Amino acid sequence: MKLKINSIKTIAILLLAVLFSNSIYAQAGKKADKDTELWRYEIQCGGVGVQGTKLVKVFSYSKNPDVAIEQAKKNAVHGMIFQGFIGSSLQGCETQKPLTDNPALEQEKSDFFKAFFADGGKYMKFVSVSGDGSVAAEDRMKVGKEYKVGVLVSVLYENLRKDLEAAGIIQALQAPGGAAPTVMFFPSDVWMKGKNYITVTDNQGKKTEQNDYDAAVKDPEFSAILSTLNTMMNERGLRATNLADVLAEIKNSNASENMAQNEEGGGVAESASDKLLKVARPDIRINVTWTLTTSGPKKSVHFQLDGVDAGTSKSAGSASGDSKESLNGTVYVLLKEAVLNHIDNFNSQLMSYFQNITKEGKEINLEVRVWDTSPKKLNSEINEDGDELKDDLKKWVSKNSVGNKFNLGTSSPNMMNFTGIRIPVKNEDGSANDADAFAAKLRKYLKKTYQLPSASSAIGLGKGVVIIGGKSQ
């Protein structure tokens, strides 16, 4: 009987302990929810995360240090959406913009975010405490009556972004009209020369050096880097055109001539990259450079990405950084690590540039020449009012440019140079627009209006050339 009474007492004590524990946990949960509603935290770079993630340190505030630790994951996801963080050269990361630039988004989508950040909510899919979750002594501070506790957290940034885009909460990485820029990676001229991937061509007696991109794509180091960079871009919503694929296309189509000539034998010299760009037709060219540094047995890589307009070579964005030192990392692995923490901000720069040209028009140049056999010169009168052919060409360029924007440089009876012409990114049929298409449109206008034979061509994507009288009727 005594044993039975003792057993009942033991069970009662255990039940009371469970009830007390649940009560404490419930109170902590309520306190955590209350602190979360105020979103009182600080977020900073915590280092370089693995691909698709951001490693951040979140300092949360609460009178209960355990509550602050518990809320770190929720605050980290909130911070990536609404705050971003300042870069740190010591941690090897640059400033990260928030996923939204709309300060009122949380209020506008309050129902979504209330469910998203609820205890056990969807936010948990995108975050985990880094390491064993322990808090360093220097990251647990007493501030007045509260504790400020720092926790290292890993956020699945790319998955979070894609999920919010799919839910219609944030805008996808696109320009107006739903388009994203096409990019194409090239090894920099410095790297090409350092590897001696150069060919010498004879252009009408003048020897010129050309980059040998065929040799570059066969380089195991560059091939691995190119594949990684293309994948990183495609995963983030930008369309990457593979340099190796374009080279193969040129070979198969027998389009690798050194000169673009009209029917009378006149020619326009093009560089190797110009010919590649005309086939691939990317919006942005990205030149990539990397340097391996050794310090005893340790190695590190410095990289530089320079995005330029594929037509004008004007800057569209840049990024640079260093990997951490490593004893056994390959150049490919170290460069991937270094680029990873900078790629999202770099892409934001490219998108801003592309959004601008989508709105304001793509910039090109146009050169109009007159062949010796042409029945008209640029100063030939075309009507009884005394207007000359060059006057009508200026009107035509103005009419066919965005916002009537262009500049006129050299002008003579045999040549006109138009610069800074803004043209729509897309043609009326939805096809990509460029200097070649613009020049062809002018060629057809000259034929229809003045019965003038002419030839049109382009140098790369950014300069159109029209030669009046340069083609037999």
* Whether residue 248 sits in one domain with residue 299: yes
Rounded distance, CA 354 to CA 348, Å? 10
* Whether residue 354 sits in one domain with residue 403: no
* Whether residue 371 sits in one domain with residue 352: no
Rounded distance, CA 60 to CA 39, Å? 9
Rounded distance, CA 81 to CA 405, Å? 39
416: Cα within 13 Å, side-chain hemisphere: 22
* Whether residue 306 sits in one domain with residue 275: yes
- Which has the higher per-residue pLDDT, 230 or 65? 230
Per-residue 3-state assignment (H helix, E strand, C coil) for the chain: CHHHHHHHHHHHHHHHHHHHHHHHHHHHHHHHHHHHHHCCEEEEEEECCCCCCEEEEEEEEECCHHHHHHHHHHHHHHHHHHCCECCECCCCECCECCCCCCCCHHHHCHHHHHHHCCCCCHHHHHEEECCCCCCCHHHEEEECCEEEEEEEEEECHHHHHHHHHHCCCCCCCCECCCECCEEEEEECHHHHHHCCCEEEEEECCEEEEEECHHHHHHCHHHHHHHHHHHHHHHHCCCEEECHHHHHHHHHHHCCCCCEEECCCCCEEECCHHHHHHHHHCCCEEEEEEEEEEEECCEEEEEEEEEEEECCCCCEEEEEEEECCCECCCCHHHHHHHHHHCCHHHHHHHHHHHHHHHHHHCEEEEEEEEECCCCCCCCCCECCCCCCEHHHHHHHHHHHCCHHHCCEEEEEECCEEEEEEEEECCECCCCCECCHHHHHHHHHHHHHHHHCCCEEEEEECCCEEEEEECCCCC
Mean predicted confidence (pLDDT) in 341-351: 86
First to last CA, the chain: 120
Burial label for 426, CB within 10 Å (0-12, 13-18, 19+), is: middle
- The neighbour count for residue 435, using CB atoms within 10 Å, is 28
pLDDT band at residue 36 under the 50/70/90 scheme? low
- Which has the higher per-residue pLDDT, 336 or 56? 56
* Whether residue 238 sits in one domain with residue 349: yes
Domain end, chosen from 166, 191, 211, is at: 166
Task: Flag whether pLDDT at 18 surpasses 60.
Answer: no
Domain end, chosen from 166, 200, 231, is at: 166
Domain end, chosen from 291, 325, 358, is at: 358
Rounded distance, CA 375 to CA 369, Å? 13
- pLDDT at position 262 is 39
- Which has the higher per-residue pLDDT, 34 or 93? 93
370 belongs to a structural domain: yes
Task: Flag whether pLDDT at 269 surpasses 70.
Answer: no
Rounded distance, CA 393 to CA 395, Å? 5
Task: Flag whether pLDDT at 132 surpasses 70.
Answer: no
Sequence-distant contacts of 17-21: CB under 8 A, at least 24 apart: none
Task: Flag whether pLDDT at 436 surpasses 50.
Answer: yes
Residue 404: both structure tokens together: 């009537």
pLDDT band at residue 9 under the 50/70/90 scheme? low
* Whether residue 297 sits in one domain with residue 202: yes
- pLDDT at position 369 is 94
25 belongs to a structural domain: no
Which of 243-257, 320-334, 401-415 comes out lowest in average pLDDT?
243-257
Residue 405: both structure tokens together: 């924007």
321 belongs to a structural domain: yes
pLDDT band at residue 449 under the 50/70/90 scheme? very high
29 belongs to a structural domain: no
Per the structure, the complete domain to which residue 386 belongs is given by 361-468
- Interior/surface letters 208-238, b for 16+ CB within 10 angstroms, e for the rest: eebbbbbbbbebebbebbbebbbebbeebbb
CATH number at residue 224: 3.40.50
217 belongs to a structural domain: yes
* Whether residue 369 sits in one domain with residue 337: no
* Whether residue 162 sits in one domain with residue 186: no
230 belongs to a structural domain: yes
Number of domains in the chain: 3
* Whether residue 388 sits in one domain with residue 344: no
- Which has the higher per-residue pLDDT, 159 or 136? 159
* Whether residue 340 sits in one domain with residue 390: no
- pLDDT at position 259 is 34
264 belongs to a structural domain: yes
- Which has the higher per-residue pLDDT, 202 or 115? 115
* Whether residue 198 sits in one domain with residue 74: no
Q: What angle do CA 308, 314, 319 make, to 5 degrees?
A: 45
CA distances from residue 249 to 25, 169, 246, 252, 295 in whole angstroms, order as listed: 64, 40, 5, 5, 42
Percent residues over pLDDT 70 in the chain: 84
Task: Flag whether pLDDT at 471 surpasses 50.
Answer: yes
* Whether residue 162 sits in one domain with residue 208: no
106 belongs to a structural domain: yes
- pLDDT at position 226 is 92
